[in-house]
Amino acid sequence: MKQIAIIGAGVAGIEAASIVSKNNFKVLLFEKENDIAGNIMNKARLFPDFSLAVELVNKMRAKINHPNISLHLNSEIVDIVNHNNEWELTDKKGTKYKVDTVLLATGYTPFDATLKEELGYGIYNGVITSLDLEKMFQENRILNSLDEPPGKIVFLQCVGSRDEKSGNDYCSKVCCVTAVKQAIEAAKLLPDAEIYIFYMDLRMWGQSFEELYREAQETYGVKFVRGRISEAASTFDGKIQIKAEDTLVGTPLKMTTDFLVLMVGMEASLGTKALAHKCGIDGPYGFALGKDRFLEGNNTTQEELFVAGSAKRPMSIADAIADGRSAACTIIESENRSN
Amino acid sequence: MKQHYWNEYQKAIADDHFFYERSCIRQTFFPGSETAFLRIMREELGKDIRDEANQHTCTGIGYHSDIVPLETTMTVVARLFSLMSDAGYENYVPSCVTSFGIFTEMIAMWNHNPELLEKTKKVLFDTIGRKFEIPLNLAHPSDIIYKFRNELKTKMKFQLVNRFTGKPLKVVEHIGCHYAKIFPEAGIGKAEFPHVLVGMIESWGGEVVDYPERRHCCGFGFRHYLLKENRGYSIANSKKKFESMEPYEPDFIVTNCPGCNLFLDRWQYTIAEMNNKTYDKNGYGIPVLTYEEMAGMLLGYDPWLLGMQLHQIQVERLLDKIGIPYNIDEKYKGISGQVLPRPENPINLLV
């Protein structure tokens, strides 16, 4: 039985593990954290159907309950070398593993919002990220710095995405619909709150996304303003003052809000950057490069090295699962061909 | 507010042996500040600092007004550096924030385009036969005061504390744009949350006012005030800041830029005369100090030798709050003891 190492127990890695394990592969599934699916565990509900994130995680957990899968938690792979058609992996503790095949599914990390100094994250309590807001949703309550329900919440799109200043020119793809989802969730929790979303474009590319965008406006009264926020500051009463330009009306504006929610983009995780570089498959912005964009997107330029999920580029959970499945098919197909 | 963020970024500042370059406009508007800085460096800190007699403009105002071309500015800067090289110094300290920005910009251009550096060297040598070296360390005087703020504190006779209430004075700080907004790494704390004045204020007992328009332009700008038609923009910017800081009832404003000092001070008079509005509840306005004046008054220097009588917003009420003694009869006397004419009183602004 062939042995495969899957690095990263996020949704892409788990989905691939679940499929290849049923097809004569012995799987070593490595996860640097102490549990699987870390990025999903940070969310309360998922777009576009508001299903509970924990339900998906439980289903993913069941998928890796297979005798051919051994899960290695708290096991960060720090080195990867190919010797005579065999991959040798080394974890942080120095333990070495020899496998025939490797799937890189090391995923993404959220953009560090403190790098956008002008937006005041880490400085003002009222400036939070989309991840911080998810934590509030998990606790089912949103309270401002005075422990009161906020009267106004402002979302800002494209923080660390499509932004030359932060060095990330690309679109993170999921933030538009995440803001719409979060705005609706906030409106449900706080029916009297005013909710604004500042955007550059709204990219409602997925199934049901456009409908969700319409529902946010028509049912929940979420107001969309096309424009960037240039600066956030604290007011006398501890709220957040923002400065922006409404580019449809063509005028600058100032607004005071309880919360400014920064929709942080996705960056290649440190693991993705390091391992892709070691394997010589690192692409723009540190993401791992597939062999091509069409038929061999899960292959790489290295034999028996495959890549899946948001280690390649920002993608949604559904897309990452599909990409993990696609990688599994590619790996099985490759094995069948060699036999 | 989480203060820790402000002081994360520090820059390299030399320890001793500085070459000082004075500002074109500071000696007119804040005539005691540069002298106070030299006194602090020599008498309080025991540093070697050269006050060069042959120095000249950096062209900053002309450069930013498109009157002086880049190549000229580059060569003029090269000549200033040649004075430093001739005097045997490597650490350049320009008094003015605009000059600091000019020097930072020219050095960056030379570093990125070595051919420009060679061209400048050739032009300077061919025209006046001088050679120059790029300074090893370029620091603004406020950087140096910041670096030695704790040492200075041990020598200070006063603190930024209201002697009547025992509470820290509330201080608005404002950083010149050309200090860190062109090259963030050139300033302590970088561009958005510079720490250079915050560090002084907090070390010396004061409390920084974090008001919504803290980072808004002071209203100086170059085209804003150089063209008469644009001066409305200048005063509108200053007014926006005053309105934003007013609820916090600041005791004074401190800046590290000649333009900020001048306009935040003088526009208070203009707004008072135009709108009968002052931003201090007693009608006197908010005093605006240079950081050298702030350091000097706490070290116990005579406020009138610091030149504080030339401010539009009078400083006596601030001095009283801290408990700094002054002789009102000396306020309008020249160095020679001659009594100078008193300025006219404004109509609305109390003095």
Which chain B residues are closer than 8 Å to A124 by Cβ?
A: 1-2
Contact A233 B212 (CB under 8 A): yes
Task: Report pLDDT for B27.
Answer: 87
Cα separation, A150 vs B148, whole angstroms? 44
pLDDT tens-place string over residues B328-347: 999 999 889 899 999 999 99
Judge whether A11 and A36 are in contact, CB under 8 Å. no
Task: Report pLDDT for A300.
Answer: 98
Which chain A residues are closer than 8 Å to B1 by Cβ?
A: 123-124, 234
pLDDT tens-place string over residues A143-157: 987 889 999 999 999
Peptide bond into B141 cis (omega under 30): no
Average pLDDT, rounded, for chain B: 94
- Range A175-191 average pLDDT: 98
Which chain A residues are closer than 8 Å to B191 by Cβ?
A: 117
Q: A interface toward B at CB cutoff 8 Å? A: 114, 117-118, 122-125, 231, 233-236, 241
Which chain A residues are closer than 8 Å to B214 by Cβ?
A: 233
| Residue in B with minimal Cα distance to A231 | B215
Which of B2, B5, B215 is facing A233, going by the closest CB pair?
B215
Task: Please state the φ and ψ torsions of residue B212, each to the nearest 5 degrees.
Answer: -55, -40
Position A304 confidence tier, pLDDT thresholds 50, 70, 90: very high
Contact A236 B193 (CB under 8 A): no
pLDDT tens-place string over residues B261-276: 999 999 999 999 999 9
Tokens of A29: 């599934």
Cα separation, A328 vs A309, whole angstroms? 12
Task: Report pLDDT for A57.
Answer: 97
Rounded to a whole number of angstroms, the CA Rg of chain B reads 20
Residue B131, number of CB atoms within 10 A of its CB: 12
Which of B2, B214, B248 is facing A233, going by the closest CB pair?
B214
Strands, sheet with A152-159, edge to edge from the N-terminal-most edge strand: A127-129, A259-264, A152-159, A194-199, A223-226
Q: Which ipTM score applies to this complex?
A: 0.80
Q: At what angle do helices A209-218 and A175-189 cross, to 10 degrees?
A: 40
Count how many pairs of residues, chain A against chain B, have C-beta atoms within 8 Å: 32
Contact B5 A123 (CB under 8 A): yes
Which chain B residues are closer than 8 Å to A236 by Cβ?
A: 211-212, 247-248
Tokens of B351: 């003095």
pLDDT tens-place string over residues A47-106: 999 999 999 999 999 999 999 999 999 999 999 999 988 999 999 999 999 999 999 999
Cβ neighbours of residue B52 closer than 8 Å, sequence gap 6 or more: B19, B20, B21, B83, B84, B87
Position B7 confidence tier, pLDDT thresholds 50, 70, 90: low
Position B1 confidence tier, pLDDT thresholds 50, 70, 90: very low
Cα separation, A327 vs A315, whole angstroms? 15
Task: Report pLDDT for B228.
Answer: 87
Contact A123 B2 (CB under 8 A): yes
Q: How many CA atoms lie within 13 A of A284 on its CB side?
A: 7
pLDDT tens-place string over residues B140-187: 999 999 999 999 999 999 999 999 999 999 999 999 999 998 898 899
Number of helical (H) and strand (E) elements in chain A, helices listed first? 8, 20
E strand or H helix at A7, and its extent?
strand A2-7
Average pLDDT, rounded, for chain A: 96
Tokens of A55: 């339900």
Cα separation, B56 vs B38, whole angstroms? 18
pLDDT tens-place string over residues B200-231: 999 999 999 999 999 999 988 888 888 889 89
Q: How many CA atoms lie within 13 A of A159 on its CB side?
A: 32
Terminal C-alpha separation, chain B: 35
Lowest-confidence region among A214-218, B2-6, B83-87, B173-177: B2-6
Task: Report pLDDT for B4.
Answer: 52
Which chain B residues are closer than 8 Å to A233 by Cβ?
A: 210-215
Q: Which residue has the tokens 């998906």?
A: A56
Pick the residue of B210, B216, B237 with the most A CBs within 10 A to test the interface with A by mutation.
B210
- Range B106-122 average pLDDT: 97
Percent of chain B surpassing pLDDT 90: 85
What does the DSSP assignment read for B292-311?
HHHHHHHTT--TTTTTGGG-
Contact A234 B193 (CB under 8 A): no
Task: Report pLDDT for A195.
Answer: 98
Percent of chain A surpassing pLDDT 70: 100
pLDDT tens-place string over residues A225-270: 999 999 999 999 999 999 999 999 999 999 999 999 999 999 999 9
Amino acid identity of residue B133, one-letter, is E
Which of A117, A234, A235 is facing B192, going by the closest CB pair?
A117
Q: B interface toward A at CB cutoff 8 Å? A: 1-2, 5, 190-193, 210-215, 247-248
pLDDT tens-place string over residues B14-41: 999 999 999 998 988 999 999 999 999 9
Residue A243, number of CB atoms within 10 A of its CB: 19
Number of helical (H) and strand (E) elements in chain B, helices listed first? 15, 8
Task: Report pLDDT for B221.
Answer: 83
pLDDT at B252 over 70: yes
